[in-house]
Amino acid sequence: MSKNLKIKAAIIAVFVAISVVVMGFIVSSMQDELSLSNYTADIQHEMDDLPGLLEASAAETEQNTQTYDEIYQSKAESVAFLANNDTGYEATNAKMQEYKDLLGVTNVMIVSRDGEVIAEAQETVANFSYARFNQLRTVFETGESSEPVEVYFAEKDAHFRYYAARIDDNTMVVVGQDPQELDDLIESTASLASVLGNLTVGQTGYVFAVSTQNYLVEYHPNAEYVGIDVIEAGVDVSDLEDGKFGWIEFQGERLFAGVSEIGDTYYISAVPESEMASSRNLTVGVVLFIFFSAAMIVAVYGVFVNREEEKRGYNPANYLNMGPLRFNRSIAKRAVVLSFIGFLAVAGVTFYMQTLFSLSAESVSSNERAADIEETIQRTNAQADALTEQYDARYLNKTQVAAYALEHNSDLKSREKLQELADVLQVQYLYVFDQEGVMASTNSPYTNFVLSENPEDQSYPFRRLLQGVEYYIQEPRAEEVSGELRQYIGVTLRTADGQTDGFVQASIRSSRLEDLLATVNIDNILDGVKVGQNGFAFAVNKNDGTFAYFPNSDLVGRDARSYGMTDAQLKDSYSDFIKVDGVSYYATSFESGDYYVYVAQPESELMTERVPLTVAMSVSGLVCQVIIFLLVSFEVRPRRPLSPAGGGGEGGAPVDPDAPDPQWPRDDDDNPDSRMFDVTMPDGRVTKTESAASRWLYRSMNWGEKSAEQRTLTVIKVLLGVFAVAVCLAVIFKDSVFPPDSVFAYVLSNNWEYGLNVFAITAAIMIACVVLTATVVVKQLLHLLSGVFGARGETICRLLGSFIKYASIIGMVYYCLLVIGIDGTTLLASAGILSIAISFGAKELVADILSGLFIIFEGEFRVGDIIMVGSRRGTVMEIGVRTTKINDGNGNVIIIRNSEVSDVTNMTKESSFATCDMAIEYGESLERVESILEKEFPNIVRRLPAIEDGPFYRGVVALNDNSVVIRIVVQCAESNRGQVERDLRREMKLIFDEYEINIPYPQVVVHQPIVYKKATLAEQLRADRFNEEQKAAGRNIGNEDFDDDDGRH
Amino acid sequence: MLIGRVMVSKAKRTFVAIVAFALMACACVSVAGCDGAANGGSGTLKVGVRSDIVNFSLLNEKTGKYYGLEIDIAEEMAKRLGYADVEYSTVTPDDRKDVLLEGKVDCLVACYSVADSRLESFDFSPTYYPDDTSVMVENSSLITDITQLEGGVLGIMSGSNAGPLLAIKLNEMGIIGDNIISNTDEGTQYEGVYVKKFASYAELSQALEEGVVDAAVMDGSITDTYMNEDRSLLDISIADQNYGVATQKGSELSPRVAEVIQGMLDDGTIAAYIEKWN
């Protein structure tokens, strides 16, 4: 390689390296910027929502606390009511114990105004005389039950929540309750974990909370991190400021985070860098690889061609001079094609990768959201059940208290007292029924009521109370008139001796329970679900295919199919594009109860990222390609060395730099064994091809033997190989290489819909890479094995190799078809039916097509090859689907049906041999002829320029009846062979003539007739005797039967 | 003597003297020798800090490191003084005087307020953080005004000067009388209120929780740690507490520390730290 070329190659290499680095930087920073802006929007969105969520949860806590307090205040008041209504109240510990059991509380105490405990169900730890309990004493002023006082007693590790109700001016009842139930409720509905645990940022991002006071983590999805110091975990204090976005370090992980400070807590919405990096690295990696390949191919091609020309010499026809530079047309022609294809590849791959990534990210996050919603639905249902149960228990207890009061003092059955009791118990109405099922008294306006005897009626089940059942809790049901949820609970009344004496029934209207039950409705759950920036969730009714919930309420109740959805989309775990009301969404579905719930994101949102990136990538890719193209196709016009005639020095006239090299055309086909040589294509272009015999050799060609195109091809093959192997390794080691939510894992998870979509195509590409890599590895192994087992091994291994190749191709095609939604089995089955039809009509057509495929697969011959099919010889012009066209050299095109292409001799080789057999008379001296040939061969070469090598004397090929045949061969191009043979024969004839060497030929010799003598009698007799003697003597000698077969024995 | 800067009327002079005595008693000043052997040039500045005050100086037991405003100040101060390293050791209100007097530390940056009594034994830098003493009550006690504490029980951290300052304030307001009825390690019975002493703020807080004390008196910097939604601070300022860096009386370090702290105040460094840790 010349110095100039080396410099040029180095410049190109450096430029390619620089452009790859620059591109890498541009793409990754763009990708980062895009994902950061996405994440920023996402985090901002989360941060905007957060105060609302926290407020809602605070309101929830307040509501829960209030409800809880009301229950226990009512209990305290019940005791006061019992104390003031002659129900056997006395301030003793035993009575308190009774009340404690009746009310189901931790402790009941009677406390005097100054804090002295008069009676208690169990010993209390609190000292009510402390000012701490002033709150309880407010009952003496207000007459109403007090606000609760909650105290933690460190020594006993006990929490108590105290409620007081006034009995008289000097005593009050204090109910002490361990608020565990309330704490649990708050924990599950309003704790940081319950609020923040539902939030996601990006795909794997989360929100965690840090105290502003001591910088301890208050909530983190990873429970191990709760309680650690964020400063110790690596967060800089100055990063923790409201509204700050940026990178923070937490436990060795880089997070992109937004901080919002609400109250005493920093809420940090964070996305791990790894999430960004995983999507960025892979996209950028693949795109860069393609860009690198494209640039590399053009560059390498240019360098190879330059090098080849350098070896062959300078041909001015290929150059166009432009000032100090010259433009290499032969390189440019192909380089421009390669550059353009490279540019298209870069643009296409960028777009493809972006689509793949945004879709897979979308899909994964939609799946996660779907799982979240599913969980929410289940949790809400469970919660509703638990709450219903809890409320049942509470209301039953109220009714039991009413029953206790009424049993102990039947005077309370008056309307006024019932109203008072109902107020104390915080129920709307109380009804007292007698043993006949007739309403005896009530505080309600409806006074005349008898329990129904119709099992269908609402009141009928309460009849069982009259038979001695302790209590009956009826399911809450909507009232006919108002539609309000109302619940009835009955508790049997008993006389002192235990006889049933009617029952008391409470009628409760719980708006709180109603609210809670309403939240279980699907529209309530899906309302407010937000995915990404514009995504949402909707539900379709399983049974009738109508929208059960849709953000646009006009659609609710309409048939989904009339708005663009198809039956195939109405199913569980669907994951692909859908169209609703003319808008395309990417949706993921799951089944819940009577509904299919979809998490949908508008397509337009997904695609915002990919267009600018693709454009940026393509433009910068194009610029790089153009520069590389220019670098490759232009070169500096060399200053020719001074002509030697000028005597050296500066005075010599410079040689015209554009004159052809003296050596041009330099013969570069010095090596007759070369496996590469030129062939002429049907359109007249001359290209290189590999000789037929070398195509099936398990031996790669020497680098030096390859043409520039072939070297470039090798480079492409290597690049493809690297790509395939990389993909293959990634597929095999996916778990250790990629996080579980990466695009790779997603594509391999098969959770997408089969069909012509980006995932299916990716899966097909991946599977192809794996299969091809595996096939190549196995074939290489077989090749190694074949060396061990000799010829038989070689045969078997070649057979096996061929088998593996077809098996893998068929398997791959079958799988890929399956993946893109074409069921191979159906295809094969229909092919079976088809083949019956075909066998009648188009059998041969199919045979032709299949044969054509096999010709190409097996590489029997290529366009440009010289082949012999049967007796027809010619250059392959085209291998079609049905026919192969061969030019016989006379301009005649032979069209052969592919199925008839059999007994092919592929004669594509660099040089053929023209053979000339010459016959010589037996009488001629062979030595003389041979010495003449030696003398004349150089003359033949001189006269016949088409001879590439030889002539060679190959010796005597036959001793015929009349002649000795010797053979002379010369090496020539296959295309010249016929003419060279004819010329050679002519030369030989002329030589034989010159040296009077006779060529035998049939000669006719005419003889004069002669007169033949007759035998004498004696001679006849002697002959007879001789015959007889001979027969007798030779009886056992020879084979008589074969000698004489005329039938006479 | 030590009342010099506390502005009191002549009428209360006797009382103040008594309180001052009590203050001295409970402060357990040991006047042991050790007069300022200058030991600052060793390359390591030994600083006594608190370990339990959120945002001021909190020891993270997992790492053994301290975080907070005072730590940042100490760090920066040491840097400006030319020390290569800072060594922290935990001091408590009870032992911080002794630790400094005995020279176990070079200085205290430990929520140590400048007070006349302390100026006797130590040099103080300019105030780096002005604080005041607060009174914390449980909401359920329905106490909203300091006057309601008459006849009640107050809790203080023993060794802190919050108690005496409160007593002075209550006396000024006429809530308590001039005489101290008894004064033990358990608490001080004034005319009108009983001030109970606790060994730690945690115990004080628990006493407030259970109602043993009606109100807890503590430094403003500490209230954050024990505040919750069931508690509130009474709207009263007992006395300003100005935190300064304490050094041994007359040590060669004193003027340099004072200069550095003043410098940090002047160039806004301390303001930035306060902002950061707020």
Confidence of residue A213 (pLDDT cuts 50, 70, 90): low
pLDDT in tens, B207-231: 988 888 988 888 777 787 788 888 8
Cβ–Cβ gap B139/A135 under 8 Å: yes
CA atoms A347, A348, A354, A357: torsion sign: negative
Q: Looking at beta carbons, which residues of chain B come within 8 Å of A154?
A: 206, 209-210
The H-assigned helical ranges of A637-757 are: 692-695, 708-732, 734-737, 743-749
Rounded (10°) angle between helices A824-840 and A758-819: 50
User: Does A105 score more than 70 pLDDT?
Assistant: yes
Using a CB–CB cutoff of 8 Å, tell me whether A150 touches chain B: yes
User: Does A850 score more than 70 pLDDT?
Assistant: yes
Nearest Cβ partner for B276 among A126, A131, A237: A237
Which residues of chain A form CATH 3.30.70.100? 912-994
Using a CB–CB cutoff of 8 Å, tell me whether A231 touches chain B: yes
Rounded (10°) angle between helices A180-190 and A3-84: 150
Cβ–Cβ gap B211/A132 under 8 Å: yes
What was the pLDDT predicted at A697?
A: 61
Share of chain A above pLDDT 90, in %: 2
Confidence of residue A692 (pLDDT cuts 50, 70, 90): low
Residues with Cβ within 8 Å of residue B90, at least 6 apart in sequence: B48, B49, B50, B51, B59
DSSP string, A135-158: HHHHHHHH-SPPPPEEEEETTTTE
Q: Looking at beta carbons, which residues of chain B come within 8 Å of A156?
A: none
Core vs surface per residue A976-987: b (16+ CB within 10 A) or e: bbeebbebbbeb
Cα–Cα distance list, A771 to A101, A756, A777 (Å)? 75, 21, 10
Would you call A289 helix, strand, or coil by DSSP? helix
What was the pLDDT predicted at A59?
A: 84
User: Does A1023 score more than 90 pLDDT?
Assistant: yes
Nearest Cβ partner for B67 among A131, A215, A228: A215
Q: Looking at beta carbons, which residues of chain B come within 8 Å of A161?
A: none
Confidence of residue A1027 (pLDDT cuts 50, 70, 90): very high
Nearest Cβ partner for B140 among A149, A215, A232: A149
What was the pLDDT predicted at B165?
A: 77
d(Cα A845, Cα A1029) in Å, to the nearest integer?
Answer: 78
Measured between CA atoms, the residue of chain B closest to residue A154 is B206
d(Cα A335, Cα A170) in Å, to the nearest integer?
Answer: 106
What's the rounded mean pLDDT across residues A1044-1049? Answer: 48
Alpha carbon of A151: minimum distance to chain B alpha carbons (Å): 6
What is the token pair recorded at A306?
């330059």
Q: Give, for A424, the enclosing helix (H) or strand (E).
A: helix A415-425
**Using CB atoms within 10 A of its CB, is residue A89 exposed (0-12), middle (13-18) or buried (19+)?**
buried
Q: Give, for A937, the enclosing helix (H) or strand (E).
A: helix A926-943
Rounded (10°) angle between helices A610-633 and A273-312: 20
What was the pLDDT predicted at A1021?
A: 93
Confidence of residue A710 (pLDDT cuts 50, 70, 90): confident
What was the pLDDT predicted at A654?
A: 44
pLDDT in tens, B133-163: 888 898 888 888 888 888 888 888 877 777 7
d(Cα A773, Cα B7) in Å, to the nearest integer?
Answer: 92
The residues pairing with B58 across neighbouring beta strands, listed in sequence order, are: B52, B67
User: Does A884 score more than 80 pLDDT?
Assistant: yes
What was the pLDDT predicted at A315?
A: 66
Measured between CA atoms, the residue of chain B closest to residue A148 is B140
Measured between CA atoms, the residue of chain A closest to residue B203 is A154
Which residues of chain A form CATH 3.30.450.20? 383-518, 525-606
Q: Looking at beta carbons, which residues of chain A come within 8 Å of B145?
A: none
Going by CATH, does the domain composed of A912-994 fall within 1.20.1440.20? Answer: no
Tell me if B165 sits within 8 A of B239, measured CB to CB.
yes
Note if the bond before A665 is cis, omega within 30 degrees.
yes
Cβ–Cβ gap A135/B141 under 8 Å: yes
User: Does A1025 score more than 90 pLDDT?
Assistant: yes
Residues with Cβ within 8 Å of residue A306, at least 6 apart in sequence: A5, A8, A328, A331, A635
Nearest to B210 by CA among A166, A445, A126: A126
Tell me if B221 sits within 8 A of B136, measured CB to CB.
no
What is the token pair recorded at A200?
């996601």
User: Does A666 score more than 60 pLDDT?
Assistant: no
Q: Looking at beta carbons, which residues of chain A come within 8 Å of B56?
A: none
Q: Looking at beta carbons, which residues of chain B come within 8 Å of A231?
A: 67
pLDDT in tens, B89-136: 888 877 888 888 888 888 888 888 887 778 888 888 888 888 878 888
pLDDT, greater one: A173 or A660: A173
Confidence of residue A605 (pLDDT cuts 50, 70, 90): low
The residues pairing with B86 across neighbouring beta strands, listed in sequence order, are: B45
Q: In what order do the strands lie in the sheet with A217-219?
A: A217-219, A206-211, A265-272, A253-262, A245-250
d(Cα B59, Cα B53) in Å, to the nearest integer?
Answer: 9
What was the pLDDT predicted at A70?
A: 87
pLDDT, greater one: A5 or B244: B244
What was the pLDDT predicted at B95?
A: 83
CA-based radius of gyration for chain A: 51
What's the rounded mean pLDDT across residues A817-837? Answer: 71
Cβ–Cβ gap A134/B212 under 8 Å: no
d(Cα B162, Cα B144) in Å, to the nearest integer?
Answer: 20
Worst-scoring range by mean pLDDT, A392-396, A706-710, A805-809, A889-893? A706-710
Triad A780, A781, A785: Cα angle to 5°? 115
pLDDT in tens, A558-589: 888 888 888 878 888 787 788 888 888 888 88
Residues with Cβ within 8 Å of residue A165, at least 6 apart in sequence: A73, A76, A77, A79, A80, A139, A145, A146, A172, A173, A175
What was the pLDDT predicted at A1026?
A: 93
What was the pLDDT predicted at B3?
A: 39
What's the rounded mean pLDDT across residues A161-181? Answer: 89
Tell me if B178 sits within 8 A of B188, measured CB to CB.
no
The dotted CATH code for A525-606 is: 3.30.450.20
What was the pLDDT predicted at B62?
A: 65
Worst-scoring range by mean pLDDT, A771-775, A853-857, A883-887? A853-857
What is the token pair recorded at B81?
């003084």
CA atoms A771, A777, A780, A784: torsion sign: negative
pLDDT in tens, A513-541: 777 667 667 777 777 677 766 778 888 88
Secondary structure of A777-813 as H, E, C letters: HHHHHHHHHHHHHHHHHHHHHHHHHHHHHHHHHHHHH
What's the rounded mean pLDDT across residues A46-50? Answer: 81
The CA-based dihedral angle spanning residues A16, A19, A21, A22, taken in that order and rounded to the nearest 10 degrees: 170
Residues with Cβ within 8 Å of residue B186, at least 6 apart in sequence: B196, B197
Confidence of residue A904 (pLDDT cuts 50, 70, 90): confident
The residues pairing with B216 across neighbouring beta strands, listed in sequence order, are: B136, B155
Q: Looking at beta carbons, which residues of chain A come within 8 Å of B230?
A: 150
Tell me if A1033 sits within 8 A of A1025, measured CB to CB.
no
The mean pLDDT value of chain A amounts to 79
Q: Which stretches of A566-675 are assigned E, i.e. beta strand?
A: 575-580, 583-592, 595-602, 634-636
Confidence of residue A686 (pLDDT cuts 50, 70, 90): low
What was the pLDDT predicted at B21?
A: 47
Secondary structure of A467-501 as H, E, C letters: CCCCEEECCCEECCCCCCEEEEEEEEEECCCCCEE
**Would strands A893-897 and A158-166 be described as parallel, antiparallel, or unpaired?**
unpaired
What was the pLDDT predicted at A675?
A: 60
Nearest Cβ partner for A135 among B67, B140, B277: B140
Tell me if A505 sits within 8 A of A431, measured CB to CB.
yes
pLDDT, greater one: A786 or A436: A436
Tell me if B91 sits within 8 A of B50, measured CB to CB.
yes
Q: How many CB atoms lie within 10 A of CB B182?
A: 10
Residues with Cβ within 8 Å of residue B58, at least 6 apart in sequence: A214, B51, B52, B66, B67, B68
The CA-based dihedral angle spanning residues B202, B206, B207, B213, taken in that order and rounded to the nearest 10 degrees: 90
Catalogue all structural domains in chain B, each as residue range(s) with its CATH number.
Answer: 44-128+244-276 (3.40.190.10), 133-239 (3.40.190.10)
Cα–Cα distance list, B261 to B70, B87, B101, B116, B243 (Å)? 12, 19, 21, 20, 12
What was the pLDDT predicted at A569?
A: 81
Which CATH fold would you assign to the domain A836-908? SH3 type barrels. (2.30.30)
Q: What are phi and psi of A111, to 5 degrees?
A: -125, 135
What was the pLDDT predicted at A1022?
A: 93
State the amino acid at position B16 in one-letter form. V
The dotted CATH code for A383-518 is: 3.30.450.20
Q: Give, for A171, the enclosing helix (H) or strand (E).
A: strand A171-177
Using a CB–CB cutoff of 8 Å, tell me whether A131 touches chain B: yes
User: Does B268 score more than 50 pLDDT?
Assistant: yes
Q: What are phi and psi of A403, to 5 degrees?
A: -60, -45
Tell me if A981 sits within 8 A of A972, measured CB to CB.
no
d(Cα A495, Cα B132) in Å, to the nearest integer?
Answer: 68
Residue recorded with tokens 């992980």: A253
What's the rounded mean pLDDT across residues A622-644? Answer: 70
pLDDT in tens, B166-180: 778 888 887 777 778
Would you call A204 helix, strand, or coil by DSSP? coil
Highest mean pLDDT among A196-205, A700-709, A716-725, A900-909: A716-725
With DSSP H G I counted as helix, E B as strand and the rest as coil, what are the percentages for chain B, rounded to 5?
35, 25, 40
What is the token pair recorded at B204?
């004080």
Cα–Cα distance list, A69 to A56, A62, A146, A1004, B9 (Å)? 19, 10, 10, 143, 51
What is the token pair recorded at B38?
């200058």
What was the pLDDT predicted at A313?
A: 67
User: Does B71 score more than 80 pLDDT?
Assistant: yes
pLDDT in tens, A230-278: 877 888 877 888 888 888 888 888 888 888 888 778 888 888 887 777 6
What was the pLDDT predicted at B34?
A: 36
Which residues of chain A form CATH 2.30.30.60? 836-908
What was the pLDDT predicted at B63?
A: 66
Nearest Cβ partner for A132 among B62, B67, B141: B141
- What single DSSP character describes residue A675? S
Triad A452, A454, A460: Cα angle to 5°? 50
CA atoms A989, A993, A999, A1005: torsion sign: positive
| ipTM score for this prediction | 0.71
pLDDT, greater one: A155 or A609: A155
pTM above 0.95, yes or no: no
Q: Looking at beta carbons, which residues of chain B come within 8 Å of A133?
A: 140-141, 211
pLDDT, greater one: B36 or A657: A657
User: Does B4 score more than 80 pLDDT?
Assistant: no
